[in-house]
Structure 1
């Protein structure tokens, strides 16, 4: 468990908790450790290297073994990446010639000759029935002998690991940061928080836990440790019940509840009773999850505990035996009567709901007077709205100017995307501009006054992480809508998957699109090579794991967009396989090396989402001719089987048009709001850092920052979101 927690610190903070051990002469071991790290694109900071050099050789080796295992997994080097074509990207055959060679091999095989001839007589041959198709024909070791060693280049990625404090201090700091996050965490983030909460239940706690899912995870740990629960709504209790049985604390997916121990039942009912006793109006929240409350009542047996009558009222409301009018129903009734002013007055008691309803309220307002009432109400309650909601509404209003009734793209919390006609009436410019001004003024008020901002220019186009669910776990992964530059001549992206129980075939493809999003060409198992690059070959079964690659020479690409896709042809989904991830590498023109070289990996993103087609990101050529990556983190429903890049063309083009052209709120916007009349702003040149404390915002922490500096990188970018 200690190793697991130490690994969490390295992954989240890029710090190694202060290695302990006897003093000694560890210089040689520390240098070997540094060299091993550099082979996978990581490096010890000068300060950390010096510290390790003063420890015994055994202490350094122990630290190295643990750390190397963690960073190899971070970059995807913990598995063996083989390629179907042993010389890839060289000597990839023409698709038709390759298929004919597979047929020839089948005809030469006594066991398959007859069945192959029978299929040929019908005019159709299933590639999956040919013995030489879809399975590695060589070992990983044999593949390595066909590739020269990678020559280091200045553009290779190098992620610096910095020294941390004592392990317990680092664990506590990470726990407080995750538990107190102002934005929801992703699935892996919640899992990490659960591990940390169990360890930190008796220690320091955040002043506030604004995200309800985080609160459920923390409450579970507190319940197990015998500490008091943090509850202020009835839904907090429902989320906790789901957490206790390993269910979905977001309450978006059904959870199968089961009988709980008597001590747990008593704690839940007592907490529920206290919440309702303090604020009976909160019974109205039961309606949002009535069926789940009914099932929970069957497990908690509230009738056995007459000392908590308010808890029994919750289940009476769920059954319909007790009335508790919800705010939503009252607002809907007023809007149905056309009384927007009364609806707005009612919503002022729930500022978050008012803000989420602003678009509808403005559309439903038939007079200027009603629109003025809506805007005035928003201005009045904006101080009571969470920073995440303020930023979300600000982003929505900015894009509302561009959305004029053509098509609208929806992306749910799981990354499932779909398109529908936009039938909304417009939001008029005066109200939109007035609201944007009010929101920016409120954000400026909440953001800390910085004396000296040191900003890496490369971070300015990173989208604000308004939800961890819009970002996959991994290395170098940025929130949906973020843009980063691509430096390198060769672009190679990859997918790895390992099936759990059933034969599973993932197909890596690349659609190359014109500026109008029409298809120019593609690379996939049906088109193995083209002017732009080559495909590594189709693997159709992955009991021990499998990889596919696409190599592109960017100078030869004439299209405006490169869209990597992972299509599930058959077998297990992204959430069912034992492991699956996507990533991309960048190399210089003369660099050789293996198909997978960890030093050249710029990003590795976990694939965990619904649907049968994944769109992790898109590469876009700018008007200046340079390439940039825009992160998508999208999943399409696709077909149950046989998904191919050729069949997704229309859907992908429509989605890209809606998402690529949509403007996200970025770090640039917040840094502009953070800049006051007394703020010194320095754009970091990648070399020199100020001697005094600064607030640094960038993609990678520089060496030599003053120890009292505040540091914000993608790993803790959520800290920029005001409470």
Structure 2
């Protein structure tokens, strides 16, 4: 299981410790199987497999891992057997379902779900395959190389360190993986910059009764207790704390006792969580006075003025100079409050920022630059997204910032990032990554997934996207839909279970039960559809949410009309993303049609939706606003990183740097996911 996880996460295959022998035939079979899924074995991997006596199971595990990565393990069987061909008219299809029920002697009903033929696939997977010709390979099909790694122990440690030392907060799936690897890896010799990751590592130390590390705020202890209780280490969701053993209670209280008294002001942010944790830790049973003070502050028996409270008081009193003075003592908070300080006319702000930036993380600096680049012109609406990717929209009532003041701060921040860039002799940036956003937080688990706002382009006569889900306990109905918009983001129509086809877009049919997994597709023919923008969405109509089902994913493919093939062809999959958000409507990505090319812009957003019965007709207006805002927003992309490098003189004896989407066999590539470390001081 660990080996499979490493292959999916890194596309590196840990070496086998099997006996040497002749595995040449298995190596050839492995390469052929990978090619059918859009992958190819690197030369090092083929040589390793070819030298194993018993290579069959080793090779089979590699194939299983890459199939799981692109979502090819399940049987993707659409409702309409010949999809995308012979998709019926909507009303005609509904009448067929009614007539089928009448022929079976059933009473007429207004509920489609009561009709035996509706929502239940009427053919086997093998019958669907016989209705489709073989895929004709194309040079446009994706080929991704799988490389040989080190030993299993080395790859576990390597992945553990990559996750633990990430300069940006991890996505939920990676946090879970880090917690699993923390039990296996050696955590002694590297720096962990993100506090959530520190808490995850400390939770493993707590259980193993090893000394805790890197705790300097009370919130560090709260995160640790939440993680050790199986709760939310980000503290965004409430945690039900478990009962801690006496040595664990002593370790947690001892850590609290070492935190500086000036940090007690942070307690009010999570007051209720602290009171619940106090019930589990029994602080008065141990001689730790400052730890006891923590819970006294939580119960309001003692007062501790928070740093943020001092700042708010200064703003309430219209004393912006005092607010700036207080914030200057916390560089990260100062940078996060730059917009507010500018709006309130803070004097000499550029000078304060210049003093602060050396102490601020690169991800905060990048976030500030992206924010300021969108604040000199008014916007029609503000789109907010939480770390859980739930989205809401509000009117933008802020006055635009003064361009000259913004430019002064931007120059200071950019100069700091230029200083942090590594020495280089030559910089090569692949064209396909120029519009990729530099990540400042983790993204959904999957294959080919990029940060929100990233653009990718690809050719193909047909854009096909799909959703696959498998319910956990109760019957679950997800509905794949698409909103069609013109060049002015005006509604042009939609495709869903209520409209099976429109203007070159075709729906594969509604599947309403996913006990064994279910898949729905939508095809959009580039030269037939009239819309400029296509915005897919996945609606939870009934049953389990995205974070409750056993499995849930969205992906897309591209192919030419003459390629034929079955609905799901692994080698044509461009990306596959898990869906684990909290809302009831998922907006994974949006597409733009321009000439012979498709452009995709990743969204990774979830709307709250309704508890039941979500439909595209009910949320299309908010989708229009989100689509327009996503395309109009200016992002901090690799192009901007390239421009920053241009301001730093190259060094003859320094290494060359290449930025690309994926590693090559040379191993000298910096991927987009690694840019955070490249920009870190």
Q: What is the TM-score when the length of structure 2 is the normalising length?
A: 0.97
- The CA deviation at 1:577 is 1.0
- The CA deviation at 1:474 is 0.4
- The CA deviation at 1:54 is 2.1
- The CA deviation at 1:233 is 1.0
- The CA deviation at 1:320 is 1.4
2:432 corresponding residue in structure 1: 458
- The CA deviation at 1:447 is 1.3
Q: How many residues are treated as equivalent by the alignment?
A: 679
1:156 aligns with 2:130: no
Q: Deviations over 1:462-492 (max 9, x none)?
A: 0011111xx2110011100000002111111
1:475 corresponding residue in structure 2: 447
Q: Is the CA contact 2:209–2:247 (under 8 Å) kept in the aligned structure 1?
A: no
1:351 aligns with 2:309: no
1:88 aligns with 2:78: no
1:41 corresponding residue in structure 2: 38
1:662 corresponding residue in structure 2: 633
Q: Aligned in 2, Cα 1:676/1:48: closer, same or farther, shift over 3 Å? A: farther
Q: What stretches of structure 1 move > 6 A for 4+ residues in a row?
A: none
Equivalent of 2:659, from 686, 697, 701? 697
Q: Is the CA contact 1:176–1:205 (under 8 Å) kept in the aligned structure 2?
A: no
CA distance in 2, matches of 1:34, 1:226: 46
2:581 corresponding residue in structure 1: 609
1:295 aligns with 2:276: yes
Equivalent of 2:312, from 332, 352, 372? 332
- The CA deviation at 1:694 is 3.2
Q: Deviations over 1:410-464 (max 9, x none)?
A: 1111111111111113321221000000010000001112222232110111001
1:408 aligns with 2:376: no
Q: Is the CA contact 1:418–1:655 (under 8 Å) kept in the aligned structure 2?
A: no
1:361 corresponding residue in structure 2: 341
Q: Is the CA contact 1:498–1:544 (under 8 Å) kept in the aligned structure 2?
A: yes
CA distance in 1, matches of 2:396, 2:205: 46
Matches within 5 A, 1:586-601: 586-601=558-573
CA distance in 1, matches of 2:100, 2:675: 54
CA distance in 1, matches of 2:386, 2:231: 19
1:390 aligns with 2:365: yes
- The CA deviation at 1:65 is 2.0
2:51 corresponding residue in structure 1: 54
Q: Secondary structure at the match of 1:395?
A: helix
Q: Secondary structure at the match of 2:183?
A: helix
CA distance in 1, matches of 2:373, 2:621: 27
Equivalent of 2:114, from 114, 117, 129? 129
- The CA deviation at 1:715 is 4.9
- The CA deviation at 1:676 is 5.3
1:487 corresponding residue in structure 2: 459
Which 5+ residue runs of structure 2 have no aligned equivalent?
A: none
1:686 corresponding residue in structure 2: none
- The CA deviation at 1:678 is 4.7
Q: Secondary structure at the match of 2:120?
A: coil
2:473 corresponding residue in structure 1: 501
Q: Aligned in 2, Cα 1:715/1:64: closer, same or farther, shift over 3 Å? A: farther
RMSD, aligned CA: 1.7
Matches within 5 A, 1:529-548: 529-548=501-520
Q: What is the TM-score when the length of structure 1 is the normalising length?
A: 0.91
Q: Aligned in 2, Cα 1:148/1:693: closer, same or farther, shift over 3 Å? A: farther
- The CA deviation at 1:713 is 2.2
Q: Is the CA contact 2:166–2:194 (under 8 Å) kept in the aligned structure 1?
A: yes
Q: Deviations over 1:50-77 (max 9, x none)?
A: 2321222x1x222212212211110101
CA distance in 2, matches of 1:266, 1:509: 54
1:376 corresponding residue in structure 2: 351
Q: Deviations over 1:283-323 (max 9, x none)?
A: 111111111111111110010012x1111111111111222
Q: Secondary structure at the match of 2:69?
A: helix
2:235 corresponding residue in structure 1: 251
Q: Secondary structure at the match of 1:400?
A: coil
CA distance in 1, matches of 2:71, 2:605: 21
CA distance in 2, matches of 1:677, 1:331: 37
Q: Secondary structure at the match of 1:259?
A: coil
CA distance in 2, matches of 1:668, 1:50: 38
Q: Is the CA contact 1:565–1:616 (under 8 Å) kept in the aligned structure 2?
A: yes
Q: Secondary structure at the match of 2:394?
A: strand
Q: Deviations over 1:488-513 (max 9, x none)?
A: 11111100111112211111111110
Q: Aligned in 2, Cα 1:673/1:714: closer, same or farther, shift over 3 Å? A: closer
CA distance in 1, matches of 2:488, 2:369: 29
1:637 corresponding residue in structure 2: 608
1:219 corresponding residue in structure 2: 202
CA distance in 2, matches of 1:32, 1:434: 60
Equivalent of 2:251, from 238, 262, 267? 267
- The CA deviation at 1:260 is 1.0
Matches within 5 A, 1:162-177: 162-177=147-162
1:236 corresponding residue in structure 2: 220
Q: Is the CA contact 1:405–1:424 (under 8 Å) kept in the aligned structure 2?
A: no
Q: Secondary structure at the match of 1:239?
A: helix
2:101 corresponding residue in structure 1: 106
- The CA deviation at 1:204 is 4.0
Q: Secondary structure at the match of 1:510?
A: strand
1:713 aligns with 2:671: yes
- The CA deviation at 1:680 is 8.6
Q: Aligned in 2, Cα 1:715/1:55: closer, same or farther, shift over 3 Å? A: farther
1:8 aligns with 2:13: no
Q: Aligned in 2, Cα 1:616/1:680: closer, same or farther, shift over 3 Å? A: farther
- The CA deviation at 1:550 is 0.7
Q: Deviations over 1:196-242 (max 9, x none)?
A: 11111x45432x21111111111111223332212111111100100
1:685 corresponding residue in structure 2: none
1:18 corresponding residue in structure 2: 15
Q: Is the CA contact 1:182–1:721 (under 8 Å) kept in the aligned structure 2?
A: no
CA distance in 2, matches of 1:12, 1:204: 23
Q: Deviations over 1:337-372 (max 9, x none)?
A: 11111111111111111111111111122xxxxx33
- The CA deviation at 1:153 is 1.3
1:368 corresponding residue in structure 2: none
Q: Is the CA contact 1:575–1:609 (under 8 Å) kept in the aligned structure 2?
A: yes
Q: Is the CA contact 1:512–1:561 (under 8 Å) kept in the aligned structure 2?
A: yes
Q: Which moved more, 1:642-651 or 1:600-609?
A: 642-651
CA distance in 1, matches of 2:423, 2:600: 32
